[in-house]
Amino acid sequence: MTDDYERLQRFFSNIGFSVVRSERFDSFGDYIIEACSPYFCVKGVSDRGIESIEFRSLVESNWFAANVVMSYVLQKDLLMDESTLDIQTRFLEKHLDDLAVMFNEDNYKKTRTILHEMELERGRILFPRWFP
């Protein structure tokens, strides 16, 4: 099992984010790292060995999974993709400006609506019996 806790903290700092929460847990080597830029926040999470990044605006505490955000930005259906932490960090680094625009206060309402719709679609795929 790889532990990217320290690497992810350095990465967030190197791309201009301030780490606001950094916590390791005894179980499974789990961790949470939250970092914010002046435009939006990211969260690195390891849950039972599965590492991923999530995104949120500065104005709300609702986190969005990387595959949902990547689908929106790249205009591709990646809702069911299980991208690696390396793919997610490269995406974050490459699309910092796009993410800053979509999560800024002026655009966030529209962004939130679209991301919620995409999350619902992902839920319909994952749990078809839960949705009519």
Give the mean model confidence (pLDDT) for residues 8-30.
92
pLDDT band for position 126 (50/70/90)?
A: confident
pTM for this prediction: 0.90
**23, β-bridge pairs:** 32
Measured CA to CA, the distance from residue 118 to residue 11 in angstroms comes to: 28
Give the mean model confidence (pLDDT) for residues 17-24.
96
- How do residues 46-69 score in pLDDT, each as one tens digit? 988 889 999 999 999 999 999 999
- Give yes or no for a contact between 55 and 103, defined as CB atoms under 8 angstroms apart: yes
- How do residues 64-91 score in pLDDT, each as one tens digit? 999 999 999 999 998 888 899 999 999 9
The candidate with the shortest Cα–Cα distance to 65, out of 44, 48, 49, is: 44
